[in-house]
Amino acid sequence: MTRTAIIGGGISGLTLALLLRDKGHSVRVFEASDQPGGAIRTTRSTDGWMAEWGPNTIIESSGRIKRLVSMLDLEERRRYPDPTAKKRYIVRDGKMVAVPGSAGGLLSTPLLSTSAKLSILREPFRRRSRNDHDETLADFVRRRLGDEFLKWPIDALVGGIYAGDPERLSVRHAFPRLALLEEQHGSLILGQIKGGVRRPPGSDEIPRNKAEIFSFDDGLQVLPDTISNRLGDAVSFLTPVKKITFINGNTGTGESADVHEQRTGDTSPTGAIPPADRPQRWRVQVDDPLEPPQDFDVLIYAGTSYGLSDIDFPETLAPLLDPVTEIPHPPVVSFTMGFRRSDIAHPLDGFGMLIPGIEGFPILGTLFTSTLFPNRAPDDGHVTLTTYMGGSRQPDIAGTDEEEQAGMVVSSLRKLLELSGEPRFRHRILWSRAIPQYETGFARFLTLMDRAEQEHPGFYLAGNYRTGISVGDTINAAFDLAERIHQEES
């Protein structure tokens, strides 16, 4: 039986542990905090308010996500948004404007000027880029759709997804579907008309425009809690890993081995050493002098990219991983506030609002959380709103006093939602390093991570800093990696 160590009990590590155990692996998850889920955490007050610390929803972007929910017997606890929550708002000239629900709606929306609409109509006739450089999202949008489309819809979208800056994000890595639409169809509009990005045969991917979002009756924390309960004692909390040693499994001496020397000899057609012939093992030492080191056949790091710096890795591995800790993670503040429904004039008939930087507000956007899902407020006479601040756009705001931040949120909501009352509930969380930014030059990090795995058989990297930042992306990547590990290590 393959013994597998997983460092990190976020959704990536937990999903990998569940899938690998189902495939016959012996797994142990080392989690530094006192509970599972990483950024997925839900707080419920005694008087009925609910607040999410991190993500609020999961996008059902593949059949594998549905399969995970089914494996955990969570179908009846899954909640889809209320039908009234389909509208998305973007702020333009200080007012909330509903985003058109179709391409035809772009021609009549007040979100864009007449010249911007004409620029969109010309998009199918623009040549695709012949330059293979790592283009920023901003340059890509300017080239295909024009500057106004960048300043309002795209900047707002980027603030809502990445809390990032389109002038720095790589279109190829941060929004690969946009790059593929141009590559495959020569046009974003024609690509959408033709059905979007072509998917490989056998793919269970669900197109983003058709994929539903969901949560659970008691919030997103239901998912990691359920996986952790299934895994039982295989998950160790308050157990940070201190040191990893690459050892010679044949001698059991625990002496460090030279990776390149260990890889000589017979290999498979792909160049990898067959598992049965691999002499190396991974010795894991936790930050507890009373717990002896443990040896494993497979080691998966499923923590954050910056968390790599907390572990002493072997000298052949550390130089490849150290630069990965440099992936930018801007700070983000999440405020969930509860109000009397009668204190807000806006109908709150949508998913929420996003705010472009050009509008000058100190917030990135607000989710109408109690419109989306039930049980987020004590009763129908109250509502919850979740507002985000900081990010790459205004990182300094994240470092200001909490009361000052709360004042900025309430002031913004008064202007945009015609709020008249004061919060009756407030929950704040500061993520000093929040969402990994897939900026231009991101390929160098991917190359280093690939090398780390190729040159150290039995070592794997997983997480939102590598394969997509959303919860859905992370779950899909965990399914892919679990299958790959099972094939390579069994």
Tell me the pLDDT tens digit for each residue of 218-232: 999 999 999 999 999
Residues 72-91 have a mean pLDDT of 94
Above 90 in pLDDT, residue 201? no
Say how far apart CA 246 and CA 256 lie, in whole Å: 5
Q: How many CA atoms lie within 13 A of 261 on its CB side?
A: 6
**Domain 3-39+221-326+439-489: assigned CATH number:** 3.50.50.60
pLDDT value, residue 203: 81
Above 60 in pLDDT, residue 126? yes
Map out the domains of the chain as residue ranges. 3-39+221-326+439-489, 42-84+328-431, 112-206
- Residue 70 has φ and ψ, to the nearest 5°, of -70, -40
pLDDT value, residue 269: 36
pLDDT value, residue 280: 64
Overall pTM surpassing 0.85 (yes/no): yes
- With a CB cutoff of 8 Å and minimum separation 6, the contacts of 83 are none
Strand 352-354 relative to strand 88-92, pairing:
parallel
Q: 112-206 architecture in CATH?
A: Orthogonal Bundle (1.10)
Question: Does residue 25 contact residue 231 with C-beta atoms inside 8 Å?
Answer: no
- The one-character DSSP state at 200 is P
To 5 degrees, how large is the angle CA 356–CA 98–CA 118?
75
Model confidence band, residue 270 (pLDDT cutoffs 50, 70, 90): very low
User: Given 3.90.550.10, 3.40.50.720, 3.90.660.20, 3.50.50.60, which CATH number is that of 42-84+328-431?
Assistant: 3.90.660.20
Percent of the chain's residues with pLDDT above 70: 93
Tokens (6 digits) for 207:
């197109």
Task: Sort residue 195 into left (φ over 0), alpha (ψ -120 to 50) or beta.
Answer: left
Q: What is the mean pLDDT of the chain?
A: 91
CB atoms within 10 A of CB 455: 14
Residues 94-117 have a mean pLDDT of 88
Nearest residue to 90 (alpha-carbon basis) of 81, 104, 100: 100
Above 60 in pLDDT, residue 249? no
CA distances from 162 to 64, 85, 208, 393, 436 (A): 24, 22, 17, 10, 8
In this structure, the chain runs to a length of: 490
Model confidence band, residue 427 (pLDDT cutoffs 50, 70, 90): very high
Above 70 in pLDDT, residue 380? yes
Task: Name 102's bridge partners.
Answer: none
